[in-house]
Structures are given as structure tokens and as C-alpha cells.
Amino acid sequence: MEAPGRKVAISLDTDDWSLRSNLTLPAEPMSLLDWLPFVQALGTYASRAAADGAREAGRRVSCAAGCAACCRHMAPVSPPEALALARLVESLPEPRRSEVRARFAAAVARARDAGLLDGAAAATRSREEQSRAYFNLQIACPFLDNELCSIHDARPLACREYLVTSPPEACATLDEARVSPLPTRVNLMESLARAGARTLGLPAAAIPLILSLEWSKTLDPARDRPGDPLEMLRVLLGEIGEFRVET
Ligand code: SF4
């Protein structure tokens, strides 16, 4: 018989939004990666709150299916997300798995050949120069199919949180004056990266999405140690905002 879960009530207040919710925690230890769907749900919740705020201010989010200009930027992911993406690719059936792996390899090779991932050239460029040079290469995200995200439900936090109210065609340019992203003060990707550093000893810095497979291979699988779900939840919420957990 399955062990009964522990019910908790959480309250979370951030600079952008607040959440009150009840959760049932499993009795068994959980990996930080098991928390990813919860953090992704928070990302969706945060995006909706930001879109609602924009609408009340008379602006409308223009992001829609079929517009994928931002999927040609160097999307950042937290190390726990990179690990989850690598596992997702491994779980794909063939021949899809090989196809996606090949896209990752081709994207990394192009960016590396252009000196955008490592080496002296990458070290001397500013982040903005790096992003511009990457966008100019028009490397599509390996998960992009016919201008649609093939992993929409599992897409990274950065992809969920980036929404604009400017005309879609402006995103296909590098003219920042024409692009109006929704302002957000909470960055869930960075929160998750910090939680990964605290609980699993992962690097706290984000990495380019296209390096997810390569980077994950360098990691000792034992690093992803499961821990007490309540303790993990507290670490996670503490990296996001002011929180209370009632058991
Ligand atoms: S994961 Fe999906 S939404 Fe994010 S950059 Fe790739 S295709 Fe676009």
C-alpha cells in the first residue's frame, strides 16, 4: 500500500505576485527535478499574472503560437532544467531522439564555430554582443518544429516568462527600442538555479539551452540526490519569495 502523503498549505509572496495553495507531499524522498513541474506551473501562473496586469494597463500580450522569433535567441536554462531537458531527450522514441540530438549537435557546432560558446572570443564579448551575434546566426532551438515548440508543456522557465506587448514582427529584429517585454522582477529560472546550487551543489549560473545535453553528460548522476520533500519545498520557496508552509 502506498504511504500516505503529507498535506501542507503554502503561502508565497513575491514582488510580482502571490500564491496560496495546498499541496500533498509524498512520503518518500524527492529529487529537486521532481519539483520542476511545480516550478513550471508557477512560471505559467506568473506569466498569466503579468499578462493580466498588462491588460489592465491597456496593453495586450502579442506572443502567440506560430511566432518563434525568440526561439532563435540564446535561451538560458538553469542547471536543473538542463538536466531535465537531457532526460526528456533520452526518453524520446526513435527516430525522434536521434533527430533532436543531431539538432543539438548542429546548433552547438555552429555557435562554437562562431566563437560564441567558449574560447577567447566568447570571453571578451559582452553578454549583449554575444546575444546579438547568436541571434544573427538564426540558430533555431532544437525543439522548434514548424515554428512551434515541440515541448510546450515542458518548455523552460525563460520561455514561459518572456512575453511581449509589441508587434510580433519587432521580435524578428534586434531593435530593442521596438520590443516591449513585460516587466518582471521575479526570475524563476534564477531561483531554481540557486535552489539547485543549495540542494545538489550544481552551478548557480544559467547555461545556454543548446548546451543542455553536452553539460548534463559531464555531471555525476549521483549528484541528483533525493531529499526530504518538505525541506526541498522550503529551499525552493525561499529562493522565490517570502513564504510560509503550514503542515
Ligand atoms: S524550448 Fe520551445 S519555446 Fe523555448 S526556445 Fe525552444 S522551441 Fe522556443
One pLDDT digit (tens) per residue for the chain, 247 residues: 455 688 999 999 999 999 999 999 999 999 999 999 999 999 999 999 999 989 998 999 988 888 888 999 999 999 999 999 999 999 999 999 999 999 999 999 999 999 998 766 666 778 888 888 999 999 999 999 999 999 999 999 999 988 899 988 888 887 888 989 888 889 999 999 999 999 999 999 999 999 999 999 998 887 888 999 999 999 999 999 999 999 8
β-pairing, 18-25 with 6-13? antiparallel
Ligand 1 pocket residue status of 104, Cβ below 6 Å:
no
Q: How far is the CA of 103 from the centre of ligand 1 (A)?
A: 13
Q: Report the residue among 70, 71, 85, 100 best suited for mutation to probe ligand 1: largest number of ligand atoms under 8 A from its CB.
A: 71
Between CA 189 and CA 158, with CA 49 as vertex, the angle to 5 degrees is: 20
The predicted model scores a pTM of: 0.92
Ligand 1 pocket residue status of 82, Cβ below 6 Å:
no
Ligand 1 pocket residue status of 189, Cβ below 6 Å:
no
Distance CA 242, CA 141 (A): 34
Within a domain: 1: no
Closest C-alpha residue for ligand 1 atom 1: 155
Distance CA 121, CA 154 (A): 33
Q: How far is the CA of 220 from the centre of ligand 1 (A)?
A: 26
β-pairing, 144-145 with 6-13? unpaired
Residue whose C-alpha cell is 524520446: 92
Distance CA 33, CA 222 (A): 13
Q: What does the pLDDT look like over 160-171, one tens digit per residue?
A: 988 899 988 888
> Across the strands, what pairs with 244?
11
Ligand 1 pocket residue status of 149, Cβ below 6 Å:
yes
| Three-class DSSP category at 72 | helix
Closest CA to 104 of 17, 30, 33, 209: 209
**Quick one: which H or E segment has residue 9?**
strand 6-13
Residue whose C-alpha cell is 530593442: 176
Residue whose C-alpha cell is 521575479: 186
pLDDT at residue 1 in the model:
44
Beta strands in 88-217 (DSSP E): 144-145, 148-149, 207-208
Within a domain: 92: yes
Q: How far is the CA of 135 from the centre of ligand 1 (A)?
A: 14
Within a domain: 77: yes
How many folded domains does the chain comprise?
1
Its domain, for residue 120, covers 6-246
Ligand 1 pocket residue status of 71, Cβ below 6 Å:
yes
Q: How far is the CA of 207 from the centre of ligand 1 (A)?
A: 15
Residue whose C-alpha cell is 512520503: 27
CB under 8 Å, gap of 24 or more: what pairs does 201-204 form?
Answer: 202/79, 202/80, 203/79, 204/79
Closest CA to 212 of 234, 232, 189, 235: 189
Within a domain: 46: yes
